Structure 1
Amino acid sequence: MTPTFSGAPPFFRAACAVVRGFAGLTKGLSLEGLEHLPPSGPVIVAGNHVSLIEGPLVGYAVGRVRQPSFMIKEELFRFPPLGWTLRELGGIPLDRGGRGDVKALRRALNVLAGGGCMVVFPEGTRSKDGQPLKPKAGVGLLARQSGAPVVPVRARNTLSALSGERPYRLTFGAPVPAPPKDPEDSRSADRAFAEAVMAAIFAL
């Protein structure tokens, strides 16, 4: 399999080369289950989150198949040129305060409506000890309103780039079908689906 999907933009290819080099210089990278990721059509990729490393690694892995977009905390967009770089790589700023960022969710739904791939981390923040945190309902809302399946991905050995077990490991699992679009209680349904996605991630 080539390092990036056919027709990948030059900037995305360059970013993937940087991530590949970083992984090679630190721990190496093992990828399993990429066959579960459809090469086209709307899909959500949802992973666990313990460090800053998962985002680039998952983006690189998905980029071997197709172009990903990401929901990323808006604080990171405040620092140029990082903000510019994140936008060029498909980043959508997400305000994690309050009851959710409606603008970011709409932009993510637009990506999915166009047949794109959204990468999300349902926990919404990093787990300091690697144990699963209570997920946010956003992944349920995205899947329910878009009808997109959710491909779970479990990251291991990512707590530190300089210590711990080798290599970095990403394991992709079978897609979780989208929930019904019009449940009686959408909030409860979204939360329940998010919990099911987290269970699928940690079952890998």
Structure 2
Amino acid sequence: MTTTRRYSASYRFFAAVIKPILFVISRREWRGTEHLHRSEGFIAAANHVTELDAITTAHVLYDNAAPPRIMAKVELFRVPVLGALLRSSGQIPVHRNSRNAADSLAAAQEALAAGECVMIFPEGTLTLDPEEWPMVARTGVARLALSTGAPVIPLAQWGASAILPRKSFLLRPFPRKTVHALVGPPVDLADLQGRLDSASLVEATARIMAAITAQVAQLRGEDPPAEPFDRRRAGV
């Protein structure tokens, strides 16, 4: 059963502008989207390779009756025009390392309680893995999931970086590339629900990222690294 979610006027406008562009510059190959047809609020957790990911991943969700409330860095909300569109369409600013950090969590919790989809990139930034595999993530996604009981749906995507390479602002739209998405079943976190201690958050985060990484491996047809890239260990 799928709940009926509200598409605001700003959201519809955003989609009306962006979707035709995506259809021109990319092909789509989506699998597992039946896992998005849910009656309750849920967290969509995706890997992050390029700045284009937010748009291509949101496209998957939007077209499956789950217009996402995207958790995005607060700096984007300060960009003229873009910031206004983000605010008016209900996206959630993420305040890192500040006294306002709790506001982001509260807004996401409220959205989930209202039956909405909250989209998050658990890594918190573009992956730093040299081969673009998912890296060790922050624990914010686990804190949100374990504090609310909301299911976490792993959403792996691959191909957008061929259109917009990471750390680049130069689109390579032609020839058209295929953006692949593979949606999985909810990550099993039942034994950790309500536990917000450090060990539980780390374990939940690891399970979520393992699910995403396994799905990325399916899309790529390759084996992932034995250990995910850890930016702290690498000192970056």
State the TM-score, normalizing by the size of structure 2. Answer: 0.77
1:96–1:124 contact (8 Å) kept in structure 2? no
CA distances 1:87-146 after superposition (whole Å, capped 9, x unpaired): 122211112336992110111111112222100000000014412211010111111011
Report the RMSD for the aligned CA atoms in angstroms: 2.3
Change (3 A) 1:187 1:79: same
Unaligned runs of 5+ in 2: 164-171, 216-236
Counterparts of 1:90 and 1:7 in 2: how far apart (Å)? 11
User: Number of paired residues?
Assistant: 199
SS at match of 2:177: coil
Q: Which residue of 1 aligns with 2:143?
A: 141
Runs of 4+ in 1 over 4 A off after TM superposition: none
Change (3 A) 1:89 1:31: farther
SS at match of 1:196: helix
Change (3 A) 1:17 1:171: farther
Counterparts of 2:27 and 2:82 in 1: how far apart (Å)? 25
SS at match of 1:57: helix
Farther off after superposition, 16-25 or 148-157: 16-25
Change (3 A) 1:119 1:52: same
State the TM-score, normalizing by the size of structure 1. Answer: 0.88
Amino acid at match of 2:101: D
Counterparts of 2:22 and 2:59 in 1: how far apart (Å)? 10
Unaligned runs of 5+ in 1: none
- The alpha carbon displacement at 1:170 in A equals 1.3
Change (3 A) 1:7 1:71: closer
Matches for 1:120-159 after TM superposition, within 5 Å: 120-128=120-128, 129=130, 130-159=132-161
Q: Which residue of 1 aligns with 2:214?
A: 203
2:10–2:85 contact (8 Å) kept in structure 1? no
Counterparts of 1:171 and 1:14 in 2: how far apart (Å)? 26
Identity of aligned residues (%): 30
Report which of the two structures shows the higher radius of gyration computed on alpha carbons: 2
Amino acid at match of 1:37: L
